[in-house]
Amino acid sequence: MSSLRSKRFAAKMDRMGLSQADLARLTGRSRMTVYRWRKDQTKPPEYAWTILANLEKIRGLSLQLAQATCSECSGMLQ
């Protein structure tokens, strides 16, 4: 049975659209290792959580930048 921690880990990956292969490349681990993290067979190291958190921050900043740019563009078109 999956623990709450592994469910949160998998949910973060899913929310960001991050595949196991993507996270494996970012962490320098194999896809099988990432699969084990998701399925709570082994505990993900702290740096894997840090990478996910940093990716979420980057994604949030990218969305804010895109919204700001769209707002500026629509103002110039009027």
Q: Domain ranges in the chain?
A: 4-77
Both tokens of 38, joined, read 């998701």
pLDDT of residue 60: 85
Rounded CA separation 51/26 (Å): 8
pLDDT over threshold 60, residue 1:
no
Q: Does residue 72 or residue 53 have the better pLDDT?
A: 53
pLDDT of residue 47: 95
Confidence of residue 75 (pLDDT cuts 50, 70, 90): low
Rounded CA separation 60/46 (Å): 21
pLDDT over threshold 60, residue 76:
no
Confidence of residue 4 (pLDDT cuts 50, 70, 90): confident
Rounded CA separation 41/36 (Å): 5
| Topology annotation, domain 4-77 | 434 Repressor (Amino-terminal Domain) (1.10.260)
